[in-house]
Amino acid sequence: MRRVPSQGNPVDAPSHNDLDDQPADEFLRQVRRTARSVLGDSEIGRQVQELCDEHAQARQLISQDRSAGSLVLAIVGATGQGKSWLVRQIVRRSAAADSIRSGTRADQATEQLVWVGPRPPADLDPRFEQFVRVAAEDMEPLGVPYVLVDAPGSTDDRRGIAEVAQRALSLASALVLVVRRDQIRAYTPGALASASEGSIVIPVINTVGREDDALQGDVDVFLSNLRSAAPGSIVARPVQIDDFEATGRDAQEVGSEAVQEVFRRLKLELENNPDSDRRKSTRLKALDGRFRAALCALLADQLPGLTRAVNRLNDAATRLPGEVAQTLIGPEGPLQAAVRSRLRLRLLTETGAIWFPYRSLLGLLNLTHGAWDRVVLSLSGSLPSLVSAIWTSTRSLTSDRSANDEMRDGLRKRAAAAVTDRLGPLAAQFRDELMLLRSGTANIPGDDRSDLSTAAMRRDQDAYHVASLGGLDALQERSQNILQTTIDRNAVGPGAATVMALLGTAIFWILMAGPFVAIYSEYLVASYEALAGGRMTMEHFPKPEFATVLTSLLLSVFPTAVFAMIALSVAQSRRRVRAAEQAIREQHEQAIDDLQRDRVLRLQWDDPLLSDAEFLVSAGAGGHPE
């Protein structure tokens, strides 16, 4: 298989949430398109297209209103349960009741979808449907206009009749499910109950005999199974119909009582659940779920190799963005270095320029952090200590820069490397399986298949770029905001910074005040005498020795520098750094989850064919078979 070059923008890898949010028609069109793209004109491709056709027809049956706004009440159940008998009881006042046939043998059983009511449905198909006209006043009153649908037996072995029965389930807003008493213990809801998802279901247990001690227990199990099979349906308590032959009661009397009880419960459920649009939406959602499950089962059964390859690729692609994003904050060392740098910088910015020379010393110590002891020694005149201090200061600057570079540029490099390492082999396996499918060798044993694919599939592997990770800019922007807000919360506040600045400045000027006062006192006396007209020369003005001034300055700066070191140590204390680091990691995890949920942080496939295959397999329901 030759790889199709990527055209245009990369294709986002779809998530299950994306598939759920897509409009049904668009979703179905995309399944058709991807099936043609991936499976071509193969047998499995044709089966997928047929499945799509059936699903589109089923959705149309639920969505369209063939009964002109009337409630569609379907009488459903297995063959020979008494469905048509119950329909005749509902329209017992009409002479048309005798035209509704029933029976237990195949030649007697209902073979068409029989509509019963005052008006025929729209678009009646005479091949599969027939209409029996019954006036509304001759039907059991329900309080709302309705039509009956008598469905063929859902367990009929003939495929055409079984399909007609399924059509009745799609049409109905409410169902009467008829089951004989002697069959409820072995009854399995199966497709009949699950296909009624979102409808009102009135179970009817037919031919109940006298003195049946096990009846109540069997009814409870039967009802529990129904509700478990169709959790979105509204399943009422079953109506029990006596076996008039065994009890000796009149058949018309039994039928009348049964119909009245069925309609009483149906009225009650309609009053409690009047929103027909909501029921229709639930039915459509359930139908879509069954379609996805059938698609997943079909692909897993017919193409196990391709399904496993795409599922592994999809699972890796789902986990990869989060795992790569987790590396944004990096290991403990670079993150703590970045936090300490920000805490020191925050203290410096909170200190006003008026606090001279404390602020200048604070800025110098901020640049030479990690080398303060060497700086102190260097001031005593040790050349090796001075060189060591300069080297350590350079390393500190480099560490801060590398921490910032790690958070800014390292993510893209790690993302590209992770995509290549993690997805490259899986994508190669997918291409192998797809080539084997298209060459008609999908069911050949693995040992015989490997020779067919290796040479062709590896030919352009080096030039094949699987995918790229999108949303990194948004993640980095969110990361910067997290870092800034966390530093603001853990840094020394403006009040504390001002107090420290006041103390540091006071230390310097108190120590420096003695020499300054002495020098200025002599200077002011000399200036006064000169201005008063005395015979003063420049010799009378003070001439302090440089060594004296320098010594005074150093003796004043040293305590101030020590205090500035203490202030920086408080600003970047272990407690503050650890608290900030923990908060940054927790907020990054939450930000990553939010960006992935919003589909901002996502994987973009660079190969449209791979994207189509991933969508097709992911369109299946729930988990993937391994």
Q: What is the pLDDT of residues 54-102, one digit of tens each?
A: 888 888 877 777 787 888 898 988 888 888 899 999 999 998 888 887 6
Q: How many CB atoms lie within 10 A of CB 529?
A: 13
Residue 466's φ and ψ, nearest 5 degrees, are: -70, -60
pLDDT band of 608, cuts 50, 70, 90: confident
| 260 and 387 share one domain | no
- Spacing of C-alpha 551 from chain mean position: 69
| 425 and 550 share one domain | yes
When comparing pLDDT for 393 and 81, which is higher?
81
pLDDT band of 239, cuts 50, 70, 90: very high
Closest by alpha carbon to 88, among 262, 241, 252, 257? 252
Report if residue 578 sits inside a domain.
yes
What pLDDT shows up at residue 190?
A: 57
Closest by alpha carbon to 82, among 206, 215, 266, 241? 206
Whether residue 407 has pLDDT greater than 80: no
What one-character DSSP code corresponds to residue 40?
T
Number of independent structural domains in the chain = 2
Q: What is the pLDDT of residues 471-484, one digit of tens each?
A: 888 888 888 899 88
Report if residue 625 sits inside a domain.
no
| 458 and 393 share one domain | yes
How far is the CA of 163 from the CAs of 74, 120, 156, in angstroms?
15, 21, 10
| Strand segments (E) across 217-282 | 234-235, 239-242
Least confident of 178-187, 385-394, 506-515, 534-543: 385-394
- The C-alpha atoms of residue 44 and residue 37 are separated, in whole angstroms, by 13
Report if residue 259 sits inside a domain.
yes
Average pLDDT over residues 360-381: 62
CA dihedral sign of residues 303, 305, 306, 309? positive
Q: What is the spatial order of strands in the sheet that 11-12 belongs to?
A: 11-12, 602-605, 467-470
Report if residue 133 sits inside a domain.
yes
| 536 and 587 share one domain | yes
Which residues, in sequence order, are CB contacts of 506 under 8 Å at separation 6+?
none
Mode of pairing for the β-strands spanning 174-180 and 200-208: parallel
- The C-alpha atoms of residue 65 and residue 122 are separated, in whole angstroms, by 8
Report if residue 110 sits inside a domain.
yes
- The C-alpha atoms of residue 464 and residue 10 are separated, in whole angstroms, by 14
Whether residue 275 has pLDDT greater than 90: no
| 340 and 449 share one domain | yes
Mode of pairing for the β-strands spanning 71-77 and 174-180: parallel
- The C-alpha atoms of residue 255 and residue 244 are separated, in whole angstroms, by 9
Whether residue 513 has pLDDT greater than 70: yes
Q: What is the pLDDT of residues 422-460, one digit of tens each?
A: 777 777 777 777 777 766 644 444 444 444 344 444 444
- The C-alpha atoms of residue 55 and residue 195 are separated, in whole angstroms, by 12
- The C-alpha atoms of residue 513 and residue 506 are separated, in whole angstroms, by 10
What pLDDT shows up at residue 284?
A: 80
- Mean pLDDT (the chain) is 77
What pLDDT shows up at residue 420?
A: 78
What pLDDT shows up at residue 443?
A: 45
Cβ atoms 235, 204 nearer than 8 A: no
Structural domain containing residue 250: 66-280
When comparing pLDDT for 255 and 367, which is higher?
255
Q: What angle do CA 384, 385, 388 make, to 5 degrees?
A: 85
Domain end residue (candidates: 280, 308, 334): 280
Report if residue 310 sits inside a domain.
no
Whether residue 520 has pLDDT greater than 60: yes
Q: What is the pLDDT of residues 122-169, one digit of tens each?
A: 888 888 888 999 999 999 999 899 999 887 765 545 555 566 666 666
| 458 and 541 share one domain | yes
Report if residue 300 sits inside a domain.
no
Portion of the chain with pLDDT greater than 90, in percent: 18
When comparing pLDDT for 411 and 572, which is higher?
572
- Partnered with residue 71 across adjacent β-strands are 146
- The C-alpha atoms of residue 21 and residue 481 are separated, in whole angstroms, by 30
Which residues, in sequence order, are CB contacts of 152 under 8 Å at separation 6+?
79, 109, 110, 111, 112, 113, 161, 162, 164, 165, 168
- Spacing of C-alpha 269 from chain mean position: 35
Cβ atoms 406, 421 nearer than 8 A: no
Cβ atoms 363, 351 nearer than 8 A: no
First vs last C-alpha separation in the chain: 25
| 237 and 328 share one domain | no
Q: What is the pLDDT of residues 252-271, one digit of tens each?
A: 889 899 999 999 999 998 88
| 392 and 340 share one domain | yes
What pLDDT shows up at residue 387?
A: 43
What pLDDT shows up at residue 3?
A: 38
| 365 and 223 share one domain | no
Cβ atoms 588, 326 nearer than 8 A: yes
Report if residue 421 sits inside a domain.
yes
